[in-house]
Structure formats: C-alpha cells, structure tokens
Amino acid sequence: MSRCDEILRHGVFETIIVNSQRTFSENYVEWLKSATIEQMRSKASQGLKIGFPIEGVPIEFSGNVTDEQYKQWRQAIDSGKVRSLTEQETTQVIQTSASKAIVEAWRACVLNEKGLSCHTDIGSHGEFVLFFGYVPNSQGDKPPTATGDLILTNAQAMNPLKKGQPIPYAGVSVQCIRTLNAQYEYPEASYVLNTTKGSTNGTIEALSSAKATPKIRSIKLFHATGDSAAHPTAQVSVPSGWKMVGGGARVNWSGMGSLMFGCYPSDEKTWRAHAKDHAAASPANIDVWAIGIEDPKDEWEVRFVHETSDSAEWPTKSVTVPEGFSLVGGGALTHWAKQGLLLTESFPIDSRTWRASAKDHIAPEAGTLEVFAIGLRPRNGSAAPEVIRTVISTAAAQHPNGECQAPSGTLPIAGGVKANWKTQGSLLTASYPTTNGWAGASKDHQNGEAVTLDIACLSIPRKAFA
C-alpha cells in the first residue's frame, strides 16, 4: 500500500482497507468479494458509492445495492469475471465516497508523487512488500513497463515482477521474504526496478529477530561408572561442542546400603556424585550421567546458580535461575566433617526454582548444603525454551523407587527426587535420567520407615529440536 493510500484508512474506508500489503483497489475488490448484501447496504448508507468491477461490464455506481445487482455480483465472482479497478474508477470511488478532508489530503499526496515511485511495508518476521506506482506527469501520460525483471538481493519475491509487465496507475505490489542468517538477523535487502520511464531502487534495513528461538540441535547422555569404595565417587564430562545442562547418579548398593550426599555440577562441563556407607561398612560404586546439548555455534547460554544454606542438622535451601532463563537442571552437595549429612531431596519445585534438603542420620551432626540450579536461554535474546514439569508419586515403601515418564511429544532433559519422610528418614540413593524420563530411589537405614517418593521429570517439546 502506498503512503497516499494510507490516508484512506479512515472514515467510510476504515473497515474496507485492512491489508497494508495491498493497494486501495485490491482492498476494495477483496471487501466486495466477501461482503454480504447487508454489509454493502450499510456502507452505502454511510456514503460509499459501491461499484461492481466485472469483466466486460462498465462499472456503475449507485447509492444503494439492489438484490439484482448483488446477484449479478455473486455470479461474476463464481465465474471468475471480477476485475480490478482502473485508475479512473479508483479515483471516482474515492472522490465520491470519502469525506472532503480525506479526499483533499489524498489528492495532495498524489500530486506530490509524480512519476515512478516505490513504497515499502516491512513486517516483523522478515517479510516486506514493495509497492510500485506511477503518477502521470500530464494528461495522456502512459504508464511504464518493466524493461527487466525486478532485481532483489537477500530476499525472494513471492509474486515476481517480470520484464514487460506494466506498472499501472493503480500500482502493483510485490510480496517479498527474507530468511534468517547465522546471527539470527534478517539481513539488509535491496531492490532495483528498471522501466521505460526511469528506475527506482532502495534498501530494506536489517532486522534483528528477537522472536526467532534457535533450535536445539540434539541432546545426549554421557555416562561413567566409578570404583567401588566405602565412600564412592564418580564423575563424567561433556566433550567440546557440547554444553552440560544437568546430570544425575545412581548408587549401586547392596547389604546395608550406600547413601548419596552429592549429585551436582563440579564445573560447567562435569557432573559429579558422592555417596557413603553409614554406621556400617557397605562398599558400592556409582553410575553418573551428564546431560549435554550440542552447541557448536555457541547459540545457547547455560547459567549455573548456587547458594549455600546455614549450618543445621536438617538443612534445606532453594535456588532460582534469573528471569528469562528456563530451569533445566539442578543438584546438591552437603558439606560435613564427621558422620555425614545425607540427601533427602533434590527437586525442581517450579519453572525456575530448585530445592534440596538433607539430614543427619543416627549420629547428630550439623553441616551446610550447597544447592545448584541450571538455567538455559538463547543468546540472541529470544524466548527461553518451554520446559514441561511432570511429577509422579510412588507407593509407600522402605525402599521406594519409580520412574516419571516425559509426556508424549517431548524429550526429557532433567529431573529430581524428593523423599517424603516424617519420622526416621529416607535417604536418596538414585536420581538419574532414563531414555523416556527420570528415575529415583531412596531407602531407610537401620531405623525402619516406609515413605513415598515424588519424582519430577522436566522435558522440552520435540518442536524445539532441530
């Protein structure tokens, strides 16, 4: 739509000129195609002089619409005989329908735009429209024709303007689209049109795409197993080109049992886990997993946030990722000196917050609890990925365990476990990723107690992945 046509988007034309990618004539004819006879009569009562541009039939204007006229119009639509308005007809519709002030403003605009011109309408998702028009310099001045195809750089025309095509007085619009570059920007585009009456050219400025979230290339589990020991430990790192977004561990215990006191990111590339036997010898080993996303172009920012609780026999602490990040993982590590503090919870409590809890067991001991939350967001400023939180509860047992399945259409990325103990305590022995979700387990130790487990699975819709 030209700058002059914009003036007409008021008064009687307010609900007729609705598409900025079309000329006045195109908007008017499209409205006629869809309007009911009641809508036409309503507009006629407001002053619109309605004409029916039908192929082979001169356009006629009247102050109202008869049933016969409307029937003729519908038949013309059904048989494909509807045509565009000529320049003279366009002018007649405007001058006989709009208010005096709008007509004068429109005519003044047109008079200042003699010759060949091009106006642009830029959208927010890479699309733009080029509107080429020609205003005659004198009576009898014929419209030009293109002497070559429209030339575009960094853009593609959806309805290309070709050599030999006329540039009518009513104008012609060309819809164009750009694609995102590696910087998630719609690049600067340019156009050149040569005609029998001069040339026009210009540029369309680059446009950053704050709404274009990059795709996650892939997600992968990296696994290692540690040696058997009274206080076993294990760790695994993600390779170059990958970013760690979480992890988990499983203590492979037997006999009295080995209990987890750490499952956490030791740095931005490595996941580590610790366990210990407690009050009775019971060596074990640990399977540990790191969860990584492939990011060779550094499109994603992973933020590790951690805080430490006050010293207590039953410490608990929550950590929240910054605004704009999605919570995609978390962990916890207890700091103790004598008997040990053991994890009872490491769990995502909402879309941005991770909470952990621990307790001494049998032998009193105060210590601190370090809690980690991991956030993910694109570096280009677009929206963080949607993360779906699913939670299940197991049946009560002295050694409860279970698995939370990711919903259909999503891929699991993290999870957590909470033991719902009330009297003696239930200590975590597993919180780790599976192919379809997240698994967890805990156990009582010497002092019997049956508890339920809450197991959470965080997952991302498959549409977010490449």
How does pLDDT run across 412-431, given as a tens digit for each residue?
Answer: 999 999 999 998 889 999 99
How does pLDDT run across 248-292, given as a tens digit for each residue?
Answer: 999 999 988 899 999 999 999 999 999 999 888 899 999 999 999
The domain 114-212: what is its CATH number? 2.60.40.10
CA angle 111, 115, 119 (to 5 degrees): 85
Q: Which residues pair with 270 in a beta bridge?
A: 237
Domains 114-212 and 219-464 share a fold: no
8 A C-beta contact, residue 106 and residue 97: no
How far is it, in rounded angstroms, from Cα 452 to Cα 64? 76
Looking at per-residue confidence, does 337 or 25 come out higher? Answer: 337
Q: Which residues pair with 243 in a beta bridge?
A: 293
Among 262, 266, 215, 214, which Cα is nearest to 238's? Answer: 266
- Which stretches of 266-313 are assigned E, i.e. beta strand? 270-277, 285-294, 300-308
How far is it, in rounded angstroms, from Cα 345 to Cα 427? 8
**Average of per-residue pLDDT across 333-355:** 94
Q: Which run of H or E residues covers position 433?
A: strand 427-433
Q: What is the pLDDT of residue 91?
A: 78
Confidence of residue 89 (pLDDT cuts 50, 70, 90): confident
**Average of per-residue pLDDT across 108-124:** 73
DSSP 209-250: -TT-PPPB--EEEEEEEPPPBSS-EEEEE--TTEEEEEEEEE
How does pLDDT run across 380-417, given as a tens digit for each residue?
Answer: 778 899 999 999 999 999 999 999 999 999 999 999 99
357 CB neighbour count, 10 Å cutoff: 22
Contacts of 252 (CB under 8 A, 6+ apart): 284, 285, 286, 287
Q: Mean pLDDT in the chain?
A: 87
How does pLDDT run across 19-40, given as a tens digit for each residue?
Answer: 665 777 777 888 888 788 888 8
Give domain limits for the chain.
1-112, 114-212, 219-464
Top CATH class of 219-464 equals: mainly beta
**Average of per-residue pLDDT across 53-72:** 73
Confidence of residue 301 (pLDDT cuts 50, 70, 90): very high
